[in-house]
Structure 1
Amino acid sequence: MSEPIRVLQVVTYMGRGGLETMLMNYYRNIDRDKVQFDFLTHRDERWDYDDEIESLGGKIYHLPKLNPFSKNYLNALDKFFKEHKEYQIVHCHQDCLSGVVLKVAKKNGVRFTIAHSHNANQDKNLKYLIKVFEKRKIPKYADKLFACGDEAGRWMFNTDDFEVLNNAIDTDLYAYNKEKADKVKKEFGIENKFVVGHVGRFNPQKNHEFLIDVFNEIQKVKEDSVLMLVGDGDLRPEIEKKVRDLGLSDKVIFTGVRSDVNDLMQGMDVFLFPSLYEGLGIVLIEAQAAGLKCIISDNIPKDGVLTDDVTCISLTQSPIVWANEILKYQEYKRANNKEIIKKANYDIKNNAKKLEQFYIENARG
């Protein structure tokens, strides 16, 4: 048997974020006898998915933090590609800075390069201005442009010449199961509670400050409500302090990073997603697959709205308005949305087969 094509996935690190979870969904479902993933990361630490990557046959390489103005970084990147001529395909997930990596890859003879957009915006600071300048270079060095949705593609590439690669999921894992829901509620001691849930990194984009304000209004009306926050991140201590200051510590559950998000969603009653922006929001696809009522901000691209379970509200509306909308769904009857998600082409098995074939065709030249 011939060796598989090895595709280099360039990322920041492989924690349990949206793009990383999307990559792992594809990695688990491709035929690894034909296509194998390796990962070039920009952190020294080990992360959540590293053990699984290595168990699946993937290699993990480490570089310093990506800095387009650092000679040390650029020299390290150049050295890496000089020493690793085995990669015919490089698939870069570094958003606006993807051109930095792909330029060096092309210089060192990589046959086929891919830039992949996972966001439709960035936090606006000095780094944002640098990234906006850098993203103009991406089409020059990328042979293929992928995006998680239409808005993410247009924002990143300033062209319609890109292809949407769906943030597909394993629908079997998320289909609503009452036994699992009861088990989760028992685990956390929240039986007979109204559970509002959220999954996401604690960073400005996810808007946790507003999320806590909304829940504070919910619990004023419905005392037996709880908030489940799944994830971790730099802003978690600030949010924990806000929860304490509002006297909500006994009503807010910080689960940390979990490998069983599909099960935790079974135990939620409403999914709250007030992000300032998203490329798509893979957790929104997951929540709909779980049959959850989803209350989301109108800043989230509509590409990810696949069912009638989603209600969009403007972030200009007050937390009270959001809370009142959520409280309408205390007795929401959850449906099995598996076939709807599949029909919308968000099931991982079909999507993984297409990506696998894409890699094979382009590795041949």
Structure 2
Amino acid sequence: MEGEDKINIIHFGLSGNPGGIETYLLKVASRIDRSKFVFSFIDTTGSNAGPCFYDEFADLGCHFYTICPRRKSISQNKKDLKKLFNENIFDVLHFHVNTLSYIEPVLIALKHGVKVVIHSRNAGTRGSFITNALHFLNKKRIEALNDTVTRVAVSELAGKWLFGDNQKFTILNNGVDTEKFHFDKNARNEVRKSLKINGDTIALGSIAAFTPAKNQQFILDVLFKMNKSDFKFKVFFVGDGYLKTGIEALAKKYSLENCVEFLGKKSNIPELMSAFDILLLPSFYEGFPNVVLEAQCCGLPCIISNYITEEVVIDKSLVCRLPINDDSRQGWVDEINNVAKMIHNSDAELREMAFRIIDERGFSTKNEIERLENLYSSVVA
């Protein structure tokens, strides 16, 4: 394999959809010191198109190894993994997961003398009974491995969720590209013009995949209660997913068609954040949501669920954490109105300074990559 004088890292966790893990890995792959590290990826998507961002990773010199998906054949999946580690030399398996329902790559890598980093990317699941049962059983198996694996998490909540309260783990918070997510007044004006957002409209943004964890229905419930306000509101849903059709139907049921717009997947997230006035994220659980970090970098006020770790709150003046139970919708209505008044009475140029706090507190992408490189070096030392 190429790069024998470098540290060879093989990653597991890529899917065919641009989620948090995929976006994180592309960010890391594009910024890691390629004179010291070589990245490879295990592809279990079972798709001819390959995993998400395949072309981008390939352009960065990354390698891919196709493994039979376990949903297709458990026995072939194991056989392919054994062949992979028999025929190639890797220094580290970086295992990015939301649950421990599947740990075969970890077990096989360890048998071949490969160091393993297990990286908890989330703080909960709404999976099936089987997924939850396997997670519970494999959690015990990972505990029994003791110090033979390195445990990493994006937050305290994510670490405790995956590894348990009594296991030691390192917190490696996500970082944000402060130059990319810096507030841009020109982008704000251009995007608002293209989306036909009037000057008297407060643009509420939801940037999330349509999955059970993201709880977009709650946003519509809140919007439905906002019939009396001094402001005109419109929600822009950015993202895709299998629950999107149901949310669109609910918007029609609530007669909110004129108050919501579904933009689908978008690549211009920084520009959209500059255009939006408030970010809404009523999630049931998150590991360490990058979207909230990016929003703070952009000076975009955020109203988020109190189930989301407080570790993501870097600038307390920009983030409000609220409950998401049945009795809390009015609280969200009141807070949205309060933030709208604050925005109405403030100068948008104040948002241009927000990125400095992210930099000062060590949450830039540069700091994140440095910590990851140090982690890899320490694991193989």
- With normalisation by structure 2, the TM-score equals 0.88
92, 101, 108: which one aligns with 1:104? 108
Structure 1 CA distance for aligned equivalents of residues 176 and 182 of structure 2: 11
Show the counterpart of 2:254: 246
Alignment partner of 2:93: what SS? strand
Tell me how far 1:139 sits from its aligned partner. 4.1
Structure 2 CA distance for aligned equivalents of residues 323 and 277 of structure 1: 21
> For 1:246-325, what aligned pairs fall within 5 Å after superposition?
246-308=254-316, 309-316=318-325, 317-325=327-335
> For 1:330-341, what aligned pairs fall within 5 Å after superposition?
330=340, 331-332=342-343, 333=346, 334-335=350-351, 336-341=353-358
> For 1:28-177, what aligned pairs fall within 5 Å after superposition?
28-45=30-47, 46=49, 47-66=51-70, 70-83=74-87, 85-94=88-97, 95-97=99-101, 99-110=103-114, 112-123=115-126, 125-126=128-129, 127-141=131-145, 143-158=149-164, 159-177=166-184
Structure 2 CA distance for aligned equivalents of residues 220 and 72 of structure 1: 59
Structure 2 CA distance for aligned equivalents of residues 209 and 12 of structure 1: 27
Contact 2:187–2:274 (CA under 8 A) maintained in structure 1: yes
The 1:66–1:266 alpha-carbon spacing in structure 2 relative to 1, beyond 3 Å, is farther
Tell me how far 1:68 sits from its aligned partner. 12
Alignment RMSD: 2.3
Contact 2:304–2:322 (CA under 8 A) maintained in structure 1: yes
Tell me how far 1:96 sits from its aligned partner. 1.3
Q: Which amino acid aligns with 1:315?
A: I
Alignment partner of 1:312: what SS? strand
The 1:11–1:135 alpha-carbon spacing in structure 2 relative to 1, beyond 3 Å, is same
The 1:97–1:78 alpha-carbon spacing in structure 2 relative to 1, beyond 3 Å, is farther
- With normalisation by structure 1, the TM-score equals 0.92
Structure 1 CA distance for aligned equivalents of residues 177 and 16 of structure 2: 19
> For 1:196-211, what aligned pairs fall within 5 Å after superposition?
196-211=204-219
Q: Which amino acid aligns with 2:179?
A: D
The 1:12–1:220 alpha-carbon spacing in structure 2 relative to 1, beyond 3 Å, is farther
Show the counterpart of 2:379: 362
Show the counterpart of 2:236: 228
User: Is 1:180 paired with 2:180?
Assistant: no
Contact 1:229–1:255 (CA under 8 A) maintained in structure 2: yes
The 10-residue stretch of structure 1 (7-16 or 171-180) with the greater mean CA deviation from structure 2: 7-16
Q: Which amino acid aligns with 1:344?
A: R
Structure 1 CA distance for aligned equivalents of residues 357 and 72 of structure 2: 43
Q: Which amino acid aligns with 2:74?
A: S
Contact 1:139–1:145 (CA under 8 A) maintained in structure 2: no
What is the percent sequence identity of the aligned residues? 28
Show the counterpart of 1:191: 198
Q: Which amino acid aligns with 1:248?
A: L
Q: How many equivalent residue pairs?
A: 362
Which consecutive unaligned segments of at least 5 residues does structure 2 have?
none
Higher relative contact order (CA 8 A, sep 6+): 1
The 1:140–1:87 alpha-carbon spacing in structure 2 relative to 1, beyond 3 Å, is farther
Tell me how far 1:223 sits from its aligned partner. 6.6
The 10-residue stretch of structure 1 (31-40 or 325-334) with the greater mean CA deviation from structure 2: 325-334
The 1:327–1:262 alpha-carbon spacing in structure 2 relative to 1, beyond 3 Å, is same
